[in-house]
């Protein structure tokens, strides 16, 4: 749970920008 939120907030321009830009 904490790892998922940290990854989306920290790498939001790497991982989150891929499926979030869609």
* Contact between 12 and 20 (Cβ < 8 Å): yes
Structure confidence at residue 9 (pLDDT): 61
Structure confidence at residue 15 (pLDDT): 62
- In DSSP notation, the chain reads -HHHHHHHHHTTTTTHHHHH--
Structure confidence at residue 12 (pLDDT): 55
pLDDT tens, position by position, 1-22: 566 665 566 655 566 556 665 5
d(CA 13, CA 10): 8
Structure confidence at residue 16 (pLDDT): 56
Structure confidence at residue 20 (pLDDT): 61
As a whole number of angstroms, the longest Cα–Cα distance in the chain is 24
Flag whether the pTM goes above 0.75: no
């Amino acid at each position: 749970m904490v790892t998922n939120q940290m990854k989306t907030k920290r790498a939001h321009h790497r991982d989150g920008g891929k499926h979030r830009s869609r």
